Amino acid sequence: MKIAHLVPTLHPGGPEIGLVDLAAGARELDPESSFEMVVVALASTSDTTQVSALRRLGVPVAELGVGPWDPRAVVRTARLLRERGVDLVHTHLPPADVVGAAAAARNRIPAVSTLHRVENDPADRGDRLKRSAKILARQRFMSRTLAISRTQLQWYRGLAGPDPTVVLEPNGVVDPGPADPAVRARRRAALEVDDGDVVVLAAEPMRREGGHALLFDALEALPDGVPVVVALAGDGPLRPWLEARADASDELGARVRFVHRAQAPAELLAAADLAVYSAATGALPTALLRAMAAGLPVVGTRVGGVPEIVTAGTGVLVPLSATALADALARLADDGEGRAAMGRAARARYLATYSATGWAARLHAVYADVLNDRAAAAG
């Protein structure tokens, strides 16, 4: 089967970047249970990191160069789907949902949509109407809607009501493999940390919703002598503000390292001893899955789908409190054996639930069910 994944853009930092993991996972499946991928982005991007990664995996990538609501988008997408011989369209994020559903209907092929966010607090009546319109559109045009966490599934069913076409399918990430001691030493030297420092990786994009302000408050609340150094990866529009805040604080200046986005994620994971997630929302944060795959324990906020990832023994959950976050970081910084045990448990949980290969296999089953249903209806 040939599946087209439709996204608004392939710029790094969005939830759709998991397509690289999916492509890698699909390559590991048996030919009888695998699928061929085509990735289509509505807009073009100047950053070709994801485009290049997909092409290295043998995945054709097309960028249509249109805006999310450009009326030409449906026609161009439908034409591309026909030319590529696509059997099913899998859409990600609202602009792609709209275009993908219309293009699929033109070609008389089914469409599937993944939910990537939880939108609990619409700002006004207009937002509520838009949200209702999205739900109705999915019910009308999508053969399946995929929730990536139980929390998200419950949220969506609370809005849309019982719907057998809405199913739980958590994402997965590629296995980084065992850390190379030489890479760990080199990366820690680049971060300018001592052997006794506990390096905490914060990999969420530097955006307003990323929780960096809370993390900085927690770092300033740490007692003197706690050997915690935070490596901030992810980049984003909030970076200048975060750099200015760190420059203005002796505590933050000593504890925070800003990591250039071009540095290899696997090397940062190898250098880290712990991962932190301090955001106020998150359906299924990919950064935590990558940390657990690398055998890192996690300190995370008790929000969204995070408690489904960080279970007992794999890390510590805290409320949205700088004091609680600081206490958890200090406690784990002082417990090397505890961190090691949590890291092993985190790695085991990743292998059991969140591997890229397992994700690809589950999606193959979804696609097969949808195509079989379509064939039965046509027959």
CA nearest neighbour of 19 among 3, 31, 32: 3
Q: Which two tokens stand for residue 254?
A: 């000593």
Residue 163 identity: D
Structure-token match 């052997």, residue found: 195
**pLDDT for position 17:** 65
**pLDDT for position 114:** 95
Q: Which whole-number Å values give the CA distances from 48 to 20, 24, 90, 184, in the listed order?
A: 13, 18, 21, 27
161 SS3 class: coil
8 SS3 class: coil
CA nearest neighbour of 285 among 354, 199, 351: 354
CA nearest neighbour of 206 among 171, 227, 224, 230: 230
Segment holding 147, helix H or strand E: strand 144-147
**pLDDT for position 122:** 62
pLDDT tens readout for residues 14-31: 666 689 999 999 999 998
4 SS3 class: strand
**pLDDT for position 150:** 95
Question: Mind listing the domains of the chain with CATH numbers?
Answer: 2-173+356-378 (3.40.50.2000), 181-353 (3.40.50.2000)
- Alpha-carbon distance of 220 to 110, in angstroms, equals 52
Residue 213 identity: A
**pLDDT for position 16:** 60
CB atoms near residue 192 (< 10 Å): 9
**pLDDT for position 136:** 87
**pLDDT for position 32:** 81
- Alpha-carbon distance of 43 to 49, in angstroms, equals 15
- Alpha-carbon distance of 336 to 165, in angstroms, equals 45
**pLDDT for position 46:** 85
Residues of the chain with pLDDT under 70: 13-17, 120-123, 261-262
The per-residue pLDDT of the chain, averaged, comes to 92
- Alpha-carbon distance of 100 to 98, in angstroms, equals 6
CA nearest neighbour of 235 among 198, 263, 266, 199: 263
User: 82 Cβ partners below 8 Å, 6+ apart?
Assistant: 107
